[in-house]
Amino acid sequence: VKLTPDIYLVGSGALGFDMSSAFDCHIYAIVNSGEIALLDAGSGLGMADVIRNLEDDGLDPAAITTVFVTHYHIDHAGALARWRELTDPTVVASQTAAAAIRTGDARTVGLQAAKEGGFYPDDYILVPCQVDVEASGSDRFSVGELTLTALETPGHCDGHLSFLLEGSDRTSLLGGDVVFWGGRIMLQNIPDCRIDEYAASVTSLAEHAFDALLPGHLTPSLRDGKRHVDAAAHAFRSLAIPPNLIQL
């Protein structure tokens, strides 16, 4: 589904638009000057649907040259080994995420806790995958004529990156699991979810100028997305906790 002149939504799960596996995060394809990069890989359980979605949008999966990963949770990183087999892209992740993705360490990436919490099938594993580039804050990458800048945004988990995409008709924050529609955040009862770091990440994102908020789940906002980040930052600055995406 084409969202902007350069960004397509090609996968999305139960916390989104049911376009691929229920376990998938939003998978974005950034397309410019003949280059295709994916922003987050998905769980790997919905590969056939993601590939069909790409083709339905006129995008050749074989043309994917880079996969940027916001963090190591398996709905975002689980498919990396599958993409490696299919198109052998350059995989970009933070140093912290890269270390866990290379070993497929279920405990570090929260998979063990998520299984015990009933979120994932018992037989699901994170297939280890080589990471080619370890990105840290302010690192810049190009996709065609566009520039993607990494921003360090821990708190939802260790080593979380968000990406600012500039050079098109609008600036977009590809925020992963930091801030969602309505100023929601995603706190989880896992060892590397850290509220103080979360607050610092959200308030630092609010210092950036951008138009679209393209998060890892829930509704994207294509023009006035910053208001959602501002709402979460306002709550944190007032010593409150923004509303949580995960509710029972």
- The residue sitting closest to Zn ion, measured at its beta carbon, is 73
For Zn ion, what does the binding mask look like between residues 76 and 115, x meaning CB under 5 A? ----------------------------------------
73 binding Zn ion? (CB under 5 A): yes
d(CA 166, CA 128) in angstroms, rounded, equals 31
d(CA 213, CA 223) in angstroms, rounded, equals 8
Give 13 or 183: the residue with its C-beta nearer to Zn ion. 13
CB of 48 to Zn ion, least distance (A): 23
24 binding Zn ion? (CB under 5 A): no
CB of 64 to Zn ion, least distance (A): 22
> 124: closest CA among 67, 20, 43?
43
End-to-end CA distance of the chain: 30
Q: Which of residues 173-192 bind Zn ion (CB under 5 A)?
A: 177
Residues in the chain: 248
Q: Report CA Rg, the chain.
A: 16
d(CA 45, CA 161) in angstroms, rounded, equals 23
Give 31 or 179: the residue with its C-beta nearer to Zn ion. 179
Interacting stretch for Zn ion, rule CB under 5 A, among 3-11, 67-75, 82-90, 161-169?
67-75
Give 78 or 225: the residue with its C-beta nearer to Zn ion. 78
Give 131 or 146: the residue with its C-beta nearer to Zn ion. 131
d(CA 212, CA 220) in angstroms, rounded, equals 8
CB of 156 to Zn ion, least distance (A): 6
Q: How many CA atoms lie within 13 A of 3 on its CB side?
A: 26
- Structure tokens given for 60: 């050749």
CB of 109 to Zn ion, least distance (A): 9
Residue numbers at the binding site for Zn ion (CB under 5 A): 73, 177
